[in-house]
Amino acid sequence: MIELTFPDGNQKKVDPPITGFQIAETISSDFSRNCVAMIVNNQLMDLSSVVEDNASIRFITQKDPEALEIMRHSAAHVMAQAIMHLYPGAKLTIGPTVEDGFYYDIDMDPVSNADFQKIEDEMKKIIKAKIPFQRKVMSKSDALNFFKSESYKIELIEDLTDGTISLYEQGDFTDLCRGPHVPHTGFVKSFKLLKVSGAYWRADQKNAQLQRIYGTAFFDKQELKSYLHFLEEAKKRNHRKIGTALDLYSFHDEAPGMAFFHPKGMILWNTLLDYWRYEHRKAGYVETKTPIMLNRSLWERSGHWENYRDNMYTSTIDEVEYAIKPMNCPGGMLLFGMKPHSYRELPLRSAEIGLVHRHEMSGVLSGLFRVRSFHQDDAHIFMTEEQICDEILGVLHLVEKIYSTFDLSFHLELSTRPEKSIGTDEQWENTTQGLKDALEQYGKPYRINEGDGAFYGPKIDIHIMDALKRTWQCGTIQLDMSLPERFDLTYIDSTNERKRPIMIHRVIYGSIERFLGILVEHYAGKFPLWLSPVQVVLMSLNDELIPFTQNIQQQLEDNNIRTEMDVRSENLKKKVRDAQLNQIPLIVTLGHKEKENNTVSVRTLDGHVAYGISLDHFIETVCQHVQGRKQDMNLF
């Protein structure tokens, strides 16, 4: 007999050997049918695995968060099997799960969305057959022989360390896989293939281009339906589509991965930066600017030449090698090192809106979200060890202030020392504790990512959530023990001793281009009044009123209210509709009655209409609303 211990502390004695499924059946048949996998002595395993010794055991049911990833991994295998049935000449590579779904990279002739239906139909046959997933283990040499006709699998196996190799068999299909999987294909219930894109084998342009087919799967049909609805909403909010419709920015083949901002896009851009500068001045930051191009010796000193060279754009000038900066940090180090510093000057908060360039592969470029040229709202805070907690706390409060202005919530993650790192144990202990102390004082929950810090220091990552509940990692707060050392940065302490400052790297917007793209999708182009490139459009009811309309426009512009006139000969209904499509927050109509009384009639985007508003009251209300950077449109 062996003794099994369950999460609630209950124990059960059973006769070995016994499979996980058989153990689950001793609880109840209904329970066993709902189980997906199990964790035995902290090891994730298939239900078909045999338990032979005393163990702690936890079953993963369809309601547990781990279950969905396991099932989606199995769905990737089902898709691969279906594709091999339909395209026998295809060669499989890897098929992992990703957030919200799975994909498989396959060397095959190009496929399109039009091919998805027949692939899904074949998948349904496999699912209906409830084919068991059977784990097989063999030696590396036997695995190489088994996959001798599959070059990609051979390459993967050769990269593995010596020992046993696991495979999973489902009927006529076998794949190299670590597992675990659901008991049989029937567990893959509600699924949908979503898109196909190109991907290079092992992300290397020198290798073959593969077909990457994406899909998703859920245990519940309603969850799949809700997710597909979410995708439709996300399509409507696509920042590239909205940016074109609102004339904000564009992309051109002459500069791949580099956005062109139009006049209205520049208004939005400058409004974001004006707000950023306003909050940073209040928080005690000074603003600096460093060159875009610096010579090789600086990048060698900072470590980027050794570790980041492939992503940098370079040029030779006067027989000296230069690089366009991929980060702002080294320039900031030079500025701090320009003169001696006293502890009385610290903390020194120095910020820069720096233009950086990073070479990204063309296949991953994506609108404003993945670019080659972008601006970072970097800041470097130089401080003493004792100031770590207060400075981190100050950044967190600044983050909260700025994100809340855009109606963005966020959560926090603390990443600790990785296996490969620089600095002493004491330095890591002190800096990590400083971040923890600040997070504890801040009072919001946070998650710890053990070993996920940068090699030069621990960090806090800030993940914002938009209107569609999508999360984006924008802000980060990193403690750096490397660059102050590399650049020999010092300050004089209270005992007249030379000390090394502790430094924070931090961004809030992150990439300003990316943050702007997030805002476009967050608001679906319907920006709050203070952000909107055009805040008011004026419409006169006939040509006789154009001089009056021009006079109103001048008064609004004099009060820094961004205004356009629509004096086209179109009827009012069409002009109002066009203004709504252009997401202009306030639509003002002007007739003879308004001229006589010096009033305006106002329509908001949500359809609310107010008549007879005095011009002075209108201007005062709009100005107060803009200055308060309010989200709502309940002005009148």
Give catalytic residue positions.
Answer: 329, 358, 376, 378, 380, 459, 505
Residue 411: what residue type?
A: H
For strand 471-480 and strand 314-317, is the pairing parallel, antiparallel, or unpaired? Answer: unpaired
* Segments in 49-133 forming alpha helices (H): 65-86, 116-128
3-state secondary structure (DSSP) of residue 606 = coil
DSSP 115: G
**How far is the C-alpha of 128 from the C-alpha of 303, rounded, in Å?**
56
**How far is the C-alpha of 183 from the C-alpha of 199, rounded, in Å?**
31
Task: Give 426: exposed, middle or buried? Use CB within 10 Å, 0-12, 13-18, 19+.
Answer: exposed
**How far is the C-alpha of 148 from the C-alpha of 140, rounded, in Å?**
12
The backbone torsions φ and ψ at residue 295, rounded to the nearest 5 degrees and listed phi first, read -80, 165
Whether 302 contacts 295, CB under 8 Å: no
Question: Which is it for the CA torsion 222, 224, 230, 231, positive or negative?
Answer: negative
3-state secondary structure (DSSP) of residue 266 = helix
Whether 20 contacts 29, CB under 8 Å: no
Strand-pair partners of 410: 464
- Nearest alpha-carbon partner for 215 in 333, 328, 13, 73: 73
Whether 333 contacts 301, CB under 8 Å: no
3-state secondary structure (DSSP) of residue 626 = helix
* Segments in 14-108 forming alpha helices (H): 20-27, 29-34, 65-86
- Nearest alpha-carbon partner for 411 in 450, 463, 447, 453: 463
The maximal CA–CA distance of the chain, rounded, in angstroms, is 99
Sequence-separated (6 or more) residues with CB below 8 Å from residue 124: none
Q: Could you tell me the two tokens for 619?
A: 């201007």
3-state secondary structure (DSSP) of residue 563 = strand
The backbone torsions φ and ψ at residue 537, rounded to the nearest 5 degrees and listed phi first, read -115, 135
**How far is the C-alpha of 243 from the C-alpha of 492, rounded, in Å?**
51
**How far is the C-alpha of 404 from the C-alpha of 398, rounded, in Å?**
10
Q: Could you tell me the two tokens for 307?
A: 């570790």
Element (DSSP H or E) covering residue 36: strand 35-40
**How far is the C-alpha of 600 from the C-alpha of 538, rounded, in Å?**
9
3-state secondary structure (DSSP) of residue 344 = helix
Sequence-separated (6 or more) residues with CB below 8 Å from residue 253: none
The backbone torsions φ and ψ at residue 86, rounded to the nearest 5 degrees and listed phi first, read -85, -30
Q: How far is CA 236 from the centre of its chain?
A: 19
